[in-house]
């Protein structure tokens, strides 16, 4: 009996070592912090939208909060893609098609719902569209050297201000970052510049976790007082999908 138990433990250990990776709680923790920042920004955005508390949401500190929340969220997408590739290289493409298609589908659901609810300002290419597209093309871009991720990421970030100078009358270039006159949307994350943030996250992932192993030593287990943050980090998609309807509904009733 004891020998069998030892064999089972040895097999489990072998399976873990064959992957070369365990789930990294610190990544989930920072993902949990990022989704909290997103929810916090949306909470004040909703207060402003419903006329409860007027704020200049895309100026000053509110703009800083929005940029930090979005950049953290997207940077961790890139980092997680690198970790997933290091862990499952053989089935990575299949994983990306399944996961990326699912996220993109949810993005389209949000487009439909916001079109019905908001009309002209509906989400044409929001954060979930960008993440879904990024996951679908990940099998190609993760194989690039990390220095290419870094340089291409910086180029796309600076390219954001360049593409805005182009004029167009078609909505079919919105995904790229070229809006038409009068365009507005409640959620807009075009490839240029925001894919650059994901690429920078990839570069950071390669440096921080070479071959899936921590470069910087951290405790093996998350501190007890912070255990709820990694849990949130593992539920970010569902939190993102449901938090706005809940907050808008509650605030509307309270108003």
Q: Is residue 91 in a domain?
A: yes
* Structural domain count of the chain: 1
52-66 b/e (C-beta count within 10 Å ≥ 16 → b) = eeeeebeeeebeebb
Q: Is residue 6 in a domain?
A: no
Q: Would you say residue 228 has pLDDT above 80? A: yes
Q: Is 166 left (phi over 0), alpha (psi -120 to 50) or beta?
A: beta
Q: Could you tell me the pLDDT band of residue 212, with boundaries at 50, 70 and 90?
A: confident
Q: Is residue 73 in a domain?
A: yes
Q: Is residue 16 in a domain?
A: no
- Contact (CB, 8 A) for 148 and 200: no
Q: Is residue 2 in a domain?
A: no
pLDDT over 70, % of the chain: 91
Q: Would you say residue 3 has pLDDT above 60? A: no
Q: Is 177 left (phi over 0), alpha (psi -120 to 50) or beta?
A: left
* C-alpha 196, offset from chain centre: 12
Whether pTM > 0.85 for this model: the answer is yes
Q: Would you say residue 76 has pLDDT above 70? A: yes
């Amino acid at each position: 009996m004891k020998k069998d138990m030892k064999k089972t433990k040895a097999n489990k250990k072998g399976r873990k070592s064959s992957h070369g990776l365990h789930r990294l709680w610190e990544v989930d923790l920072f993902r949990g912090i990022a989704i909290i920042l997103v929810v916090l920004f949306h909470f004040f955005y909703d207060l402003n939208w419903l006329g409860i508390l007027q704020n200049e949401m895309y100026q000053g500190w509110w703009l800083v909060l929005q940029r930090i929340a979005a950049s953290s969220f997207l940077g961790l997408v890139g980092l997680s893609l690198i970790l997933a590739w290091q862990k499952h290289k053989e089935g990575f493409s299949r994983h990306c098609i399944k996961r990326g298609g699912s996220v993109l589908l949810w993005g389209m659901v949000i487009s439909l719902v916001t079109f019905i609810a908001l009309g002209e300002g509906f989400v044409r290419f929001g954060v979930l569209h960008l993440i879904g597209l990024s996951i679908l093309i990940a099998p190609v871009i993760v194989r690039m050297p990390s220095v290419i991720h870094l340089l291409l990421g910086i180029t796309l970030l600076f390219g954001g201000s360049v593409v805005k100078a182009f004029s167009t009358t078609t909505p079919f270039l919105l995904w790229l970052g070229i809006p038409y006159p009068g365009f507005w949307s409640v959620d807009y994350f075009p490839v240029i510049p925001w894919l650059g943030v994901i690429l920078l996250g990839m570069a950071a992932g390669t440096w921080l976790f070479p071959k899936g192993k921590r470069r910087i030593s951290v405790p093996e287990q998350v501190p007890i007082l912070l255990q709820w943050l990694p849990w949130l980090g593992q539920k970010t998609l569902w939190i993102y999908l449901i938090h706005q309807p809940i907050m808008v509904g509650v605030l509307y009733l309270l108003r």
